[in-house]
Amino acid sequence: MLTKTTNYMKYSGHGAAFFAVVMGALLSPLTANNAHGAGANGPVNLYSYRQSFLMAPLLEEFTRETGIKVNAVYAKKGILQRLKAEGANSPADVVLAADITRIDAIAGEGLLQPVTSKLLEENIGPSYRHPDNLWFGLTYRARVIFTHKERIRPGEIKTYEDLANPLFKGRICMRSGKHEYNISLLASVINALGSEKAEKWVSGVKENLARRPQGNDRAQVRAIFEGECDIAIGNSYYLGKMLTNEAKPDEKKWASAVNIIFPNQPDNGNGENSTLGRGAHVNISAAGITKSAKHAVEAKLLLEFLASDKAQQIYAAQNFEYPLKKDVSLHPIVASWGSFKPDEQRLIDIAALHDSAARMMDRVGFNH
Amino acid sequence: MTAQTLTNDKNSLSWLALIGARLDGWTVSVLVVACIAAVPIITVIGLAIAPTEDIWRHLLDTVLSRYIRTTLVLMIGVGFGTFVIGTGTAWIVTMCNFPAKRIFQWALLLPMAVPAYVIAYVYTDLLEYSGPLQNSLRDAFAWQTKGEYWFPEIRSIGGAATMMTMVLYPYVYLLARSAFLEQSVCVLEASRTLGHGPWRGFFKVALPMARPAIAVGVSLVMMETLNDFGTVDFFAVATFTAGIFDVWLNMNSPSGAAQLASILLLFVGVLVTLERVGRRGRKFHNTSTRLRKLPGYQLNGLVKWVAFTAMSIPVITGFVVPAWVLGRYAVDYYANTLETSFWENVGNSLMLSALAGVIAVSIGIVLAYGLRLGQNRGIRFLTRFAALGYAVPGAVLGIGIIVALGWIDNAIDGVMKNNFGIATGLILSGTIAAVTFGYVTRFLSLSFGTLDAGLAKITTNMDGAARTLGLSRFSTLKRVHVPLMRGSILTAGLLVFVDCMKELPMTMILRPFNFETLATFVHQYASDEMLPEASLAALSIVGAGIIPVILLSRTMIMKNKPTSGDGK
């Protein structure tokens, strides 16, 4: 009996020690990692939907210039829910999103505060920021059409509307219709043409598909290269990434087989104000300051830095995107594609149609 | 006293039993642990209780039947595939002698360390229309277009089922093999004496006796199939989980997503219950404890090479090919990866996975043994309920945790502010503790299921004997059960560890500032279609999984060595 008790005591002693060590380890080191610092030169805490390898070089530059450290959490999903659950105590100061839908949903939940900054308003045009300055766009990219250099003649395809032309039956490749890029494109078509015409359009595109929607944007370009299809839809920056891919040189080969077409340009009879000349559908990366920000001053400095000439150039060039600030130089490859007119429908109107677009994809059974 | 404890509450069939249960130490521990573990699921169900306009109407009219059909086909395909491969390989490796058997014993486990989405990327590159295989076929036969020949479409439901089977069968293999090893040789000898050949011995004796373990293995595989998002998204296969994310992110309705997730839970709950009802009343433990080396079947001539080839296929397709592809990229790209905080990420992954493994196994033992002691219905239900988290997509369970922890933190902060003027801020949210809690609750069913099946193989006479000899319940566990189920404990720990190494969605959303694991590092590139840059880290995930795999199989082999004379 006595031995048993001792044994038990010994065990629970170990248990308690283990528990203490574990709890110490769990709660102390990384939470204390300057995340709650204060003062004029306190850190900025960032929640980012955009990947670390894209943001890190910029954030390092910001720290070099200002001495302000940036702490970051990167996640593809759920940042909105995390902000909401953390409430007023959230450590996040800045939220960065890779597309309009996410940032607008966060603004819609009342989690962002208006930012008054002359510099931001000057650098970022009104169609690319929230009407109340809750968020600001930073870069944009176009959803373009890739066509085979020989199998599609120049001028044969000029608009998104053309993709539904029965002439191209069995010749189009696309990624999943449920991917946010395609949802967003459809939402822009709904906004421009109205629901009924948009549904007809997307059914027409589905009829023209060479294969069930699958893979990512690069895979569509590869499929053109290999002759599986002649036409694909993809984000502009993928072409730049593929053309410069040293890690997978095959991609250079694929990419050089295609032309890039910015759809719906106001030329060849498409009037500036006609829907056919409305411009190429674009999406933005954007950032805003949280309502709960403890370092609002530093947060604003970060936003202004991201909208500055220098950051705009780095930020846009490294991902082959377009800077939103005017007169910032482009990456040479991006510049070689020429200039184009972006669709200037308000992005928040397009974001508001996401739900309808997702349902429309279901109705026409786009993926099946 | 002993008898009473063992049969305690056997007759109390109602929920009220929970209240009437004798509140001894074990009951309380089990209750507390199960409640805490159930928090994320309960939160998800809580989120579902909110109006969602007409989302259901829309889903019913359009895609719901497809989600259900696709999901069922995928589950059945993967479940059946892993059952056949897992059980078959486990039996042959355990019972037959053929070339390189020793190597296959552990090599067959290797594919489990390869994340499903990685294998999906690798095979799509190889097998799609524009991949090297179809290219060389076209060259060889002078085909010009797609229409001239038939080739299976990799990005399809069949492709998804194949990919998942390739990396998930080790779950069944692991559990089936440890069940076969723990089977008393006497039973098999008796079956031979009765004139059963190897096939009948397998189908009539070994397989039925291993049923609890195999059932656990297959149900884990099915749950993993259900919660997968990476693979089905890449292949554009419309499963229930793909639907959950569509409703959440594209239709911007988290509560609609939570409703779908709750239905998923209900479905899994029914499935698990059906299986348990199917074997109710049967006992699966050995009546003898003689654990001598199993007498293997010596394979000769052609047969042994057939066995060799059959065992090689899963290892080559599930491990060698993806490791080779990643390895080739890594040779070019390791320097870039090492420039980043690679070693810190390795450390983070190992530390979190090991920690979660230890905690999940400890909790699993408490729950499984607690259930063995008291047959209380309410607690039994709660425990099994808490272990269902595995079936839910990680990101959805992650939201459950975020909401729950945020609520707790803000409640504490509010109370402290109001009463003492102290702002405590967020204590748990965004800490490593939150990530660990996520891992433990998500992977609890791995450890609990494995340990529960392991305990089921030990006859309750052991408990009786130990208690009669004056051991307390705790000492019985420590001195009788734990040594007897060492294999199951290691298996459970390994399963949780390897799954934590691969875990992505929860880590991303729960983690603290500036915190990266191997999986999150891989994902940032893989999600941008840049596998080469991620290759070294992806290989490291696989590599880190291999070490415990080898350790474990060594332990299994040692256990399998003839112990002089009788049993223990």
Min CA distance, A81 vs chain B (Å)? 7
pLDDT at residue number B295: 63
Query: Which residue has better confidence, A182 or A247?
Result: A182
pLDDT at residue number B537: 86
pLDDT at residue number B31: 86
Residue A11 lies in a domain: no
pLDDT at residue number B290: 54
Same-domain check for residues A121 and A202: no
Q: What is the domain range of residue A192?
A: 141-281+346-364
CA–CA dist B446, A98 (Å, integer): 35
Type of residue at B511: R
Average pLDDT, stretch A361-366?
A: 93
**Per-residue pLDDT reduced to its tens digit, A30-67:** 443 344 444 457 899 999 999 888 898 899 999 999 99
Of the candidates B236, B436, B509, which has its C-beta nearest A367's C-beta? Answer: B236
Average pLDDT, stretch B71-80?
A: 95
Residues 327-346 of B with CB under 8 A from A: 329, 332-333
CA–CA dist B71, B261 (Å, integer): 13
Contact A36 B425 (CB under 8 A): yes
Same-domain check for residues A145 and A208: yes
Min CA distance, A161 vs chain B (Å)? 23
Residue B409 has pLDDT above 90, yes or no: yes
Query: Which residue has better confidence, B383 or A290?
Result: A290
**Per-residue pLDDT reduced to its tens digit, B79-137:** 999 999 999 999 999 888 888 888 898 899 889 888 887 888 888 888 877 778 888 88
Same-domain check for residues A130 and A52: yes
Percent of chain B with pLDDT over 70: 88
Q: Are B389 and B223 in contact (CB under 8 A)?
A: no
pLDDT at residue number B559: 57
CA–CA dist B526, B524 (Å, integer): 6
Same-domain check for residues A121 and A218: no
pLDDT at residue number B292: 57
Query: Which residue has better confidence, B234 or B344?
Result: B344
Residue B163 has pLDDT above 80, yes or no: yes
Flag the least confident range among A245-254, B128-137, B164-173, B432-441: B128-137
Same-domain check for residues A159 and A249: yes
Contact B431 A82 (CB under 8 A): no
Percent of chain A with pLDDT over 90: 67
Min CA distance, B126 vs chain A (Å)? 12
pLDDT at residue number A39: 43
Residue A4 lies in a domain: no
Same-domain check for residues A161 and A301: no
Query: Which residue has better confidence, A39 or A112?
Result: A112
- Which chain A residue has its CA at the smallest distance from B428's CA? A27
Total number of domains in chain A: 2
Residue A344 has pLDDT above 80, yes or no: yes
**Per-residue pLDDT reduced to its tens digit, B311-325:** 999 999 999 999 998
pLDDT at residue number A171: 96
Flag the least confident range among A327-341, B287-301, B314-328: B287-301
Min CA distance, A329 vs chain B (Å)? 24
**Per-residue pLDDT reduced to its tens digit, A279-310:** 999 999 999 999 999 999 999 999 999 999 99
Same-domain check for residues A268 and A296: no
Residue A7 lies in a domain: no
Query: Which residue has better confidence, A232 or A1?
Result: A232
| Angle between helix A195-207 and A354-364 (nearest 10) | 50
Query: Which residue has better confidence, A333 or B235?
Result: A333
Residue B350 has pLDDT above 50, yes or no: yes
Q: Give the mean pLDDT of chain B.
A: 82
Average pLDDT, stretch B364-368?
A: 91
Query: pLDDT confidence of B286, banded at 50, 70, 90?
Result: low
Q: Are B530 and B332 in contact (CB under 8 A)?
A: no
Residue B366 has pLDDT above 60, yes or no: yes
Joined tokens for residue B68: 């259900």
Same-domain check for residues A55 and A123: yes
**Per-residue pLDDT reduced to its tens digit, A145-191:** 999 999 999 889 999 999 999 999 999 999 999 888 999 999 999 99
Q: Are B91 and B202 in contact (CB under 8 A)?
A: yes
pLDDT at residue number A24: 53
The whole-model pTM stands at 0.85
Same-domain check for residues A133 and A276: no
CA–CA dist B478, B468 (Å, integer): 16
CATH number at residue A209: 3.40.190.10
Residues 175-194 of A with CB under 8 A from B: 175-176, 178, 180, 183
Residue A273 lies in a domain: yes
Average pLDDT, stretch B285-295?
A: 58
- CATH code given to domain B2-16+28-558: 1.10.3720.10
The label of the residue with tokens 């998804």 reads B160
Q: Does A35 touch chain B (CB under 8 A)?
A: yes
Q: Give the mean pLDDT of chain A.
A: 87
Q: Does B566 touch chain A (CB under 8 A)?
A: no
Flag the least confident range among B155-164, B181-190, B413-422: B181-190
Q: What interface predicted TM-score (ipTM) does this complex get?
A: 0.83
Same-domain check for residues A145 and A276: yes
Residue A12 lies in a domain: no
pLDDT at residue number B288: 56
Min CA distance, B155 vs chain A (Å)? 7
Phi, psi of B563, rounded to the nearest 5 degrees: -90, 135
Q: Are B439 and B517 in contact (CB under 8 A)?
A: no
pLDDT at residue number B359: 96
Query: Which residue has better confidence, B184 or B466?
Result: B466
| DSSP codes of every residue in B452-480 | HHHHHTS-HHHHHHHHHTT--HHHHIIII
Same-domain check for residues A99 and A245: no
Residue A230 lies in a domain: yes
Average pLDDT, stretch B529-533?
A: 79
Residue A334 lies in a domain: no
Residue A10 lies in a domain: no
* Strands A94-97 and A44-48, bridge-based pairing: parallel
pLDDT at residue number B184: 62
CA–CA dist B564, B231 (Å, integer): 49
Query: pLDDT confidence of B333, banded at 50, 70, 90?
Result: confident
Q: Are A96 and A50 in contact (CB under 8 A)?
A: yes
Same-domain check for residues A276 and A305: no
pLDDT at residue number B392: 83
Contact B406 A85 (CB under 8 A): yes
Residue B447 has pLDDT above 80, yes or no: yes
Element (H, E) at A322: strand A322-323
Which residues of chain A have a CB within 8 Å of the CB of B146? Answer: 228
Supply the DSSP symbol for B74: H
Contact B513 A175 (CB under 8 A): no
CA–CA dist B194, B188 (Å, integer): 10
Type of residue at A239: L
Domain boundaries, chain B: 2-16+28-558
Half-sphere exposure of A118 (CA within 13 A, CB side): 0
Average pLDDT, stretch B280-301?
A: 64
Output the furthest CA–CA distance in chain A (Å, rounded): 98
